[in-house]
């Protein structure tokens, strides 16, 4: 139950899914209690952007964007999902551009990077948020709800008017390191060929291609190798959800249920949970003390 970071620095290069710009990404270890901090190194003065709800810009169209002091960073959710799924609490992410590289459109490449760097257990115990009463947000037919539960569980339902998708459901999936890598991490982002021109005109999907996006025409999947899972679309929605929930900076004990969700709905729940955490109305903050050995007081205070 201790916090984790990575054991050593590791880097990669890639292209942003939406900006189409080449970038270099470097992951570095961070002290306990730091959380995940993104650093835009391409600016005249580097800007640190912490991965927390207060950094959300309100731009939730197709991706999660964080910002601070006029600097923004797009498409952070796949990297954040990988960190959450593997239990990496503290990380410094240096990036020399405005968007995290898309890699293969999933979290698998980031899982590989984190595994290659090695996971390192730290002295400070993890922060855990235990949901003590349900919270629900509705937007027409869209709904997201979190309710008390043992551990962290997700149920997710999507419904698209497309023969390759239709209604897909993930039911009561217990999220841990094993299930994340096996069931969720490899699920890729997806889009529709008919929407490409409109997205390009809006300055989006400039770096999208068949190597990093599942693309569908009116009847079929255009990628030569097809799908990685029969229900890859809903699995990617769960991946996006985990990346957005990672902004809370704590392990969640509760069951999240989503119908027809997306980043905007996920982020509404994140904002509500952050507010409840401050007021402590629906959230019980838990500091877990490791069963083995003693924990220094300064570690309990998050200052280790």
User: Is 162 one of the catalytic residues?
Assistant: no
- Give CA–CA dist 80/192, Å, rounded: 25
Which residue among 18, 78, 236, 263 is the active-site one? 263
The closest of 249, 246, 227 to 236, measured between CA atoms, is: 227
Q: Are 158 and 234 in contact, with CB atoms under 8 Å apart?
A: yes
Q: Which residues contact 24 (CB under 8 A, 6 or more apart)?
A: 11, 12, 13, 95, 96, 97
Using a 10 angstrom Cβ sphere, with 0-12 exposed, 13-18 middle and 19 or more buried, the burial of residue 285 is exposed
Give 220-280 as a DSSP string: SB-STT--SSTTHHHHHHHHHHHHHHGGG-SEEEEEEEEES--HHHHHHHHHHHHHHHHHT
The catalytic residues are 263
């Amino acid at each position: 139950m201790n916090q984790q970071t990575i054991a050593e620095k590791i880097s990669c290069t890639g292209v942003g899914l939406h900006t189409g710009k080449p970038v270099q990404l470097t992951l570095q270890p961070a002290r306990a209690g730091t959380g995940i901090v993104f650093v835009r190194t391409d600016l005249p003065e580097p800007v640190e952007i912490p991965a927390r709800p207060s950094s959300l810009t309100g731009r939730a169209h197709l991706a999660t964007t964080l910002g601070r002091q006029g600097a923004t960073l797009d498409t952070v959710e796949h990297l954040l999902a990988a960190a959450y799924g593997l239990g990496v609490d503290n990380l410094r992410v240096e990036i020399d551009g405005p968007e995290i590289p898309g890699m293969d459109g999933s979290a698998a490449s980031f899982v590989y990077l984190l595994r290659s760097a090695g996971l390192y257990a730290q002295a400070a115990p993890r922060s855990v948020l235990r949901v003590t009463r349900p919270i629900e947000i509705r937007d027409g037919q869209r709904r997201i709800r979190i309710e008390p539960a043992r551990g962290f569980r997700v149920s997710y339902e999507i419904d698209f008017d497309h023969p390759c998708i239709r209604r897909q459901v993930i039911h009561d999936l217990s999220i841990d390191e094993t299930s994340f890598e096996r069931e969720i991490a490899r699920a890729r982002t997806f889009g529709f060929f008919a929407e490409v021109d409109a997205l390009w005109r809006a300055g989006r999907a400039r770096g999208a291609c068949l190597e990093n996006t599942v693309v569908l025409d009116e009847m079929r999947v255009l990628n030569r190798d097809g799908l990685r899972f029969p229900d890859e679309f809903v699995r990617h929605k769960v991946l996006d959800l985990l990346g957005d929930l990672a902004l809370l900076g704590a392990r969640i004990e509760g069951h999240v249920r989503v119908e027809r969700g997306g980043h905007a709905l996920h982020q509404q729940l994140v904002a509500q949970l952050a507010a409840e955490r401050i007021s402590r109305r629906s959230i019980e903050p838990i500091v877990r003390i490791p069963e083995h050995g003693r924990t220094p007081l300064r570690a309990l205070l998050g200052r280790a």
